[in-house]
Amino acid sequence: MDYSFETCFAFGKVLISDSSDAVALICFPENKKTTLQSLIWEAKLVLNGIGIGNVSKAMAREKKISQNYPQTPIYYLWFIAVSPELQGKGIGTKFLTEISNDAAAMKRPIYLETSTIRNLPFYKNAGLTEYATLDFGYTLHLIRS
């Protein structure tokens, strides 16, 4: 999670709902730069999360996913969450509407992935569309606006 937060904070947006009960991490991939700091974040990710033995597998997975993105700038929704005790009360729906409005104002389509099947109706109800699936030993659903 540290890697995701730092990357989005540096190369995108970290959004917190007005009531502080939901958060979203947004990345603008074309803004990502290789810096000493970003290399440190990646090293920590490898050492503390992925594991050295899994780096090539993770890189191949990311390459396969990114091949499904357009060549134009996107609004990559890396992460969205609502406090567990408040889920199912419309907070995430309202927050995703605000996120969609932000993306529209920037004239960028939203892209995201999920492997959590129970999240698919949430995204569909928000007007997002599943446009592909990838098999990594589990099904990854690719979603866009």
CB 22 within 8 A of CB 80: yes
Integer-rounded Cα radius of gyration of the chain: 15
pLDDT of the residue at 19: 86
Q: pLDDT (tens digit, 9 = 90+) per residue, 69-126? A: 999 999 999 999 999 999 989 999 999 999 999 999 999 999 999 999 999 999 999 9
Q: Which pair of tokens denotes residue 84?
A: 């567990």
How far apart are alpha carbons 34 and 135 in whole angstroms? 29
Interatomic CA distance for residues 143 and 141, integer angstroms: 6
pLDDT tens digit sequence for 5-61: 999 999 999 999 988 999 999 999 999 999 999 999 999 998 888 899 989 899 999
Band (131; pLDDT cuts 50, 70, 90): very high
Domain ranges of the chain: 2-112
Residue 1's pLDDT band, with cuts at 50, 70 and 90, is confident
pTM: 0.90
> What is the distance between the alpha carbons of residues 89 and 102, in angstroms, rounded to a whole number?
22
